[in-house]
Structure 1
């Protein structure tokens, strides 16, 4: 049985900006529970915010359920606590800014979030669980082998991502124009549709997109030394307890082979240097 088959269950809830604002106060005032001296914003559930889609880390499956690599990992914590996993989709900048966590909307947040000093000022990160690089997505058969080939061209980026930062850093050097998209799906489909000449983002989801869309391919990778972490509320004793429990669950999964099983399920191979120090 695969690790995800043993989960207790998962609910997917998608919020518009208006519904999110209304639900912030309702969640904190009317709901909540405590498990093993850890307060959860929703009784009997581990509420996790993310921004969908970010395949294969989190996306909506064929049956409408939110699935993915990150989801299977936080399910390990939910199982340990004896609760369900409740996934809520919000704007990505609400996660990286820590706003949605500070407001008490979520217990945790996920989304292939790179640990950076700036983000650490706003949120509490778990131990790293995934090593990532930036990748360049192009139309198959194009002459673009790297950023240096994009002079006078349009490069797609996703707002509030490390890929966008990397692209802006090198834009003047290589003479391309960046085109910012609100989410990964808009960015990648813009490459397929020819609206941009290339797109930069984390390697995991871009390799997944290229596999699903054979008219595209990965032209280059840029080793930026990035590592992903799960996020929780900054400077909060309860959030620290939850992150400590999550770190323990991740360490156990790596020791007993569960992490490798989940990794192979979503990436087709076992990790090589993932979080190996």
Structure 2
């Protein structure tokens, strides 16, 4: 899988990055955002005229910064949802766990969330997911001269994992059988920097960002993938009629994009190949 990072001018709405250092008390609006407003589509949003989207940077090629803009596969797909609702997307960078736990929605930090997020039964208890829009699996990245080819090759060594991810869960489930020690990192960039610096002997994360990373870092390689059968979904507040309207619009937008070829265009833009049939 390869990735094109060239932006197609004028195709998608401009995306603004809002840095968020922490959550205020859940269930309250801390005043950073404009008062909630209802637009012509009948959806009430955190900010007037905006579909505020929470994500956690950086997770290239799904969401990352290019200059002042946040771009990526997830961003482009959510632009379609915003357009469906007559809104413009605005992106908030926030801790991943606050999205998957539903805390970001309870605190009115955002209307929708994403981050190459695997749909799991545990996460379904906290958030409402859209229909699946991407299939993924876990992968192992190491330095090319390491001699490591699989998890068994990590016996007595350290394996980097990203906190609150399915990769972390997979690594924990398999550590006893393979004899490695998981080392937890806050985000993908620091996890992969740990591999380059030799702080860990390898790292497990989703295959998409790891395959993208090795193209720009030729001293690393993805040596194996694990068939975990994961699917990504967009997220909104659970058990909320207004959020249900947003996810309904998301499902409609995704369905239309797959039918008219827009999804494939976006997929090829970021991964360099046609989307799987």
What range describes the TM-score normalised by the shorter chain of this pair?
over 0.9
1 CA distance for matches of 2:234 and 2:62?
Answer: 12
The CA distance in 2 between the partners of 1:184 and 1:57, in whole Å, is 12
Helix, strand or coil for the counterpart of 2:275? coil
Are the counterparts in 1 of residues 15 and 69 from structure 2 also a CA contact under 8 Å? yes
Is 1:135 aligned with 2:139? Answer: yes
In the alignment, does 2:73 pair up with 1:69?
yes
- Equivalent of residue 24 in structure 2, options 9, 21, 26: 21
Structure 1 CA distance for aligned equivalents of residues 8 and 134 of structure 2: 18
Query: 1:83-141: CA deviations, max 9, x gaps?
Result: 21100011111011111012221100000000000000000000000000000010013
Question: Structure 2-normalised TM-score?
Answer: 0.93
Written as runs of structure 1 = structure 2, the 5 A alignment for 1:31-50 is 31-50=36-55
Residue 118 (structure 1) aligned with residue 143 (structure 2): no
Partner of residue 83, structure 1:
87
2:34/2:48 contact within 8 Å kept = no
Distance 1:30 1:237 in 2: 19
Determine the C-alpha separation between the residues in 1 that align with 2:38 and 2:16: 17
Check the 8 A contact 1:134/1:222 in 2, yes or no: yes
Q: Report what 1:206 is aligned to.
A: 210
Segments of 5+ residues of structure 2 without an aligned counterpart are 1-6
Which portions of structure 1, spanning 4 or more consecutive aligned residues, are displaced by more than 6 angstroms?
A: none
Check whether the contact 1:157–1:187 (CA below 8 A) recurs between aligned residues: yes
User: CA–CA distance in 2 between the matches of 1:205 and 1:185?
Assistant: 10
Task: Work out whether 1:106 is the aligned partner of 2:106.
Answer: no
Distance, in Å, in 2 between the alignment partners of 1:170 and 1:97 is 25
Closer/same/farther in 2, CA of residues 3 and 37 from structure 1, 3 Å limit: farther
1:178 matched residue in structure 2 = 182
Deviations 1:156-205 (A, max 9, x none): 00000000000000101100000000000000111011110000000001
8 Å contact kept, 1:48–1:109: yes
**Pairs within 5 Å for 1:160-239:** 160-239=164-243
Shift of 1:15: 1.2
Match 2:12 to one of 7, 16, 31: 7
User: Aligned match of 1:52 in 57, 75, 93?
Assistant: 57
Residues of 1 paired with 2:38 and 2:65: CA distance?
A: 27
Please tell me whether the aligned partners of residues 33 and 42 of structure 1 are also in contact (alpha carbons under 8 angstroms).
no
Instruction: Give 2:160's aligned residue.
Output: 156
* Greater helix fraction, Structure 1 or Structure 2: 1
Deviations 1:244-276 (A, max 9, x none): 001100110000101001000100101225xxx
5+ unaligned residues in a row in structure 1: which ranges? Answer: none
CA contact (8 A) 2:105 2:236 kept: yes
